[in-house]
Amino acid sequence: MADMIIDLRSDTVTRPTPEMRKAIANAEVGDEVLGDDPTVRKLEEKFAAHLGKPAACFVPTGTMANQTAIRAHTEPGDEIICSEGSHIIHYETGAPAALSGCMIRTITNPRGLFDVADVTPLVRQDAYHFPHSRLLTVENTHNRGGGTVWPLEQIQRVTAEARKHKLRLHLDGARLWNASVASGIAMKEFAKPFDTISCCFSKGLGAPIGSAVAGDAEIILRVQRFKKMFGGMTRQVGILAAAALYAMDNHVQRLAEDHANAKKLAELIANIPGLSIALAPVETNIVYFDIAQDVPLTGQQLSDKLRAQNVLMLATGPRRIRCVTHLDVDAPMIDRAAQAIERSVTGRVPVGV
């Protein structure tokens, strides 16, 4: 057990469970491009119903989910309004500019939330001098905000204001499952105000690949068009849709375990001298912590020290570390990870080790 790798870099590192592998092996398949993969169709129907929307499109990645939705809503020269920390800005290789020809106008908030007073001043005057304010995107949970859950009432306020300005609305809900489990609010309630919603099966739900976009039939037809254009159409992809279906049926409610483990990890880290939780409170499965200036370690140096002890975490800034809990990490592993952090930062062996 001591040499077991504890991988807290992301919830994307999860591996298919034995039961999920059986679902993959037994999947009924067809040619997706020709529209006759029955498992893909079943997944899309189930996902759309789960989000309370008429239609859905299965895509290989979260980036493709967001970018096909953006392209479906916009034309080159349009402008997107979103949080400064949004995934579509930091982790999608400049795709809004490269694939849709859109500018981005940002709202600054350390936890990724914003409100009506933040949105209204950023909507452009309708004149030919300016880019056209076309799309507002919300990220729930917000990754760089520390797994923040948007309050439903705040989403409703913001989206109602956006509608007044004739903005289209996209929800980057890669971890919307986490938001729903943490808040007790059904995903379709979070999704209701939005034209499109993307969700990921390969993060907390533990599928090996895949995301989906939900919306009305017209917008999903455009999403499918751009999925084809961007190279996302595949063939017998029902084997992967089967994994996503299994994840939806079996791995959603257990996300509460990940949230409990993240809170436990945050509490243990907060008690280590020289460390502080960067984005408190911890609401879901993401923990960011900072290293004090008087500690002679950078984020990368601490990450390297932990790797030598088979604990993997990501340095996301000069003195900041991110940890993400998931189904491959249990409570005893959280204790061992915290002990490794304490050894690396203080040089002393934790009590009981």
pLDDT tens per residue, range 142-155: 999 999 999 999 99
**What's the pLDDT at 80?**
98
Is the confidence at residue 352, as pLDDT, over 60?
no
Average pLDDT, the chain: 96
Tens-place pLDDT, residues 106-132: 999 989 999 999 999 999 998 899 999
**What's the pLDDT at 194?**
98
Q: Where are the domains of the chain?
A: 6-13+254-346, 31-250
The rounded percent of the chain whose pLDDT value lies above 90 is: 95
Q: Which residues of 62-73 are buried (b: 16+ CB within 10 A; e: fewer)?
A: bbbbbbbbbbbb
| CA dihedral of 227, 130, 80, 52, whole degrees rounded to 10 | -80
User: CA triplet 47, 49, 51: central angle to 5 degrees?
Assistant: 70
Q: Report pTM.
A: 0.95
Choose among 262, 232, 223, 215: nearest CA to 8.
Answer: 262
**Mean pLDDT score, 142-171:** 98
Is the confidence at residue 344, as pLDDT, over 90?
yes
**What's the pLDDT at 347?**
83
Choose among 113, 124, 104: nearest CA to 157.
Answer: 113
**What's the pLDDT at 343?**
96
> 6-13+254-346 and 31-250: same fold?
no
**What's the pLDDT at 351?**
52
First-to-last alpha carbon distance for the chain, in angstroms, is 13
Is the confidence at residue 228, as pLDDT, over 80?
yes
Rounded alpha-carbon distances, angstroms, from residue 248 to 8, 88, 180, 204, 212: 22, 24, 13, 11, 12
CATH: 1.10.10.10, 1.10.340.70, 3.40.640.10, 3.40.50.450. Which one for 31-250? Answer: 3.40.640.10
**What's the pLDDT at 349?**
66
**What's the pLDDT at 110?**
85
Tens-place pLDDT, residues 4-53: 899 999 999 999 999 999 999 999 999 999 999 999 999 999 999 999 99
Tens-place pLDDT, residues 183-212: 999 999 999 999 999 999 999 999 999 999
**What's the pLDDT at 350?**
60
Distance CA 124, CA 132 (A): 7
**What's the pLDDT at 263?**
98
Enter the CATH code of domain 6-13+254-346: 3.90.1150.10
The rounded percent of the chain whose pLDDT value lies above 70 is: 98
Contacts for 265 with CB less than 8 Å, ≥ 6 apart: 287, 323, 325, 334, 337, 338
Q: Which residues of 129-162 are buried (b: 16+ CB within 10 A; e: fewer)?
A: eeebbbbbbbbbbbbbbbbbbbebeebebbbebb
